[in-house]
Amino acid sequence: MINSLFKLSLTEGTLIAFLAGSVCVLLSYLLIIFRKKRGARFVLRDMITLVGLGVILPTWWVKINGLSFNEFGLPGENWVLALVANAVLAILLAGMFYFEAKKKGQRPDFSGKYGTIFYLMVGVIFETLFFYGFLRELFEQSFGIIPALLLTSGFYSLHHIGLEEQMKDTTPAKELMKLFFVGLMYSITFRIFNSALAIFPFFIGVGVIFDLLVEKQSKTLSWKIALLTLSLMIACAGIIIYL
C-alpha cells in the first residue's frame, strides 16, 4: 500500500510531465505579456495550450508507447459508477454555490452567456485531459499517488496565472492557493474512480461556471473560437489515433 502512495521511479515520462507542466505555466504567463494582442493570445491559449498540450501531446504519448487510454482514465474501468458520482457531486456543489450566492445577494443569470459557457467547457476538456488524466498519471508512475496529486494540483493552480478572468478582483497569491485546493479536490475524485467521467462534465463544469460567471462576472467569450478549438482538438486526436 505504501509503495503505491509514495515511490521513486524516474522515467522518460517523468521528464515529459515536468516539461509539459512547466511549458503550460510559461504559456499562461505569456498571456500577461500579450494581453492586448488577441491573435497572440489565441495562438498561445487555444492552439498551443488547449490543442497542443491538451490533446496532441497526451494522444501522441499513448500512441507511441502502445498504451491504453483507459490507463489515463479515458473513460476508465469504472466509468458508469464514476458518472453517477459525478452527477451527485455536481448537484451538491451547485446547491452549495447557489445558497452562497444567495447570501451575497447574487442571482445566477446565464441568459446570453451560453457562448461563454461553451468556451469554458472547452477549457474544462483541456484541464481534464492534461492535468487530471495525463500529468497525474505520469507523476503517479514516478512518485506514487500522494505526490502525484500534489504536483498535479500545483501545476493546475499555476497555469491560471495569466488568465485575466480568473485573477479578476483578487490577489494572485490568494487565488492560486484557492485553485490549488480546487485542483486537489478534482484530482482526488478523478483518482478514486480512475475515470475522467468522475469529474467531467458536471462536477468540474459547475465549479468553473459558478466561479467565473457568478462570482467574477466574467466577460463574454467567443463561442466561435471555442468551436474552432474543439474541432481542432477532435481532428488532431483522430489523426494521431488513425496514423
Nearest to 175 by CA among 156, 189, 194, 193: 156
Question: Residue 196's pLDDT is what?
Answer: 96
Question: Residue 218's pLDDT is what?
Answer: 65
Q: At 232, list the grid cell.
A: 481542432
Return mean pLDDT, the chain: 90
- Taking the domains of the chain in order of start, what are their residue ranges? 2-242
Tell me the one-letter amino acid at 108. Answer: P
Q: Assign 103 a pLDDT band (cuts: 50, 70, 90).
A: confident
User: Is residue 136 scored above 90 in pLDDT?
Assistant: yes
Lowest mean pLDDT across 58-72, 136-150, 213-227: 213-227
CA distances from 105 to 100, 167, 169, 212, 214 (A): 9, 22, 17, 16, 11
Question: Residue 4's pLDDT is what?
Answer: 85
Rounded to an integer, what distance in angstroms lies between the CA atom of residue 139 and that of residue 3?
A: 14
Better-scored residue on pLDDT, 116 or 234: 234
Rounded to an integer, what distance in angstroms lies between the CA atom of residue 171 and that of residue 174?
A: 5
Question: Residue 169's pLDDT is what?
Answer: 65
Better-scored residue on pLDDT, 191 or 220: 191
DSSP string, the chain: -HHHHS-----HHHHHHHHHHHHHHHHHHHHHHTTT-HHHHIIIIIIIIIIIIIIIHHHHHHHHTT--GGGGTSS-TTHHHHHHHHHHHHHHHHHHHHHHHHHTT-----TT-HHHHHHHHHHHHHHIIIIIIIIHHHHHHHH-HHHHHHHHHHHHHHTTTT-TTTTTTS-HHHHHHHHHHHHHHHHHHHHHHTSGGGTTTHHHHHHHHIIIIIIS-PPP--HHHHHHHHHHHHHHHHHHHH-
Better-scored residue on pLDDT, 95 or 18: 18
Burial of residue 119 (CB within 10 Å: 0-12, 13-18, 19+) is: buried
Angle at 167 between CA 222 and CA 157, to 5 degrees: 100
User: Is residue 220 scored above 80 in pLDDT?
Assistant: no
pLDDT tens digits, one per residue of 17-53:
999 999 999 999 999 898 888 899 999 999 999 999 9
Torsion of CA 194, 80, 120, 148, to 10 degrees: -10
Q: For 51-73, what is the mean pLDDT? A: 95
User: Is residue 132 scored above 90 in pLDDT?
Assistant: yes
Residues in the chain: 243
What predicted TM-score, i.e. pTM, was given to this entire model?
Answer: 0.92
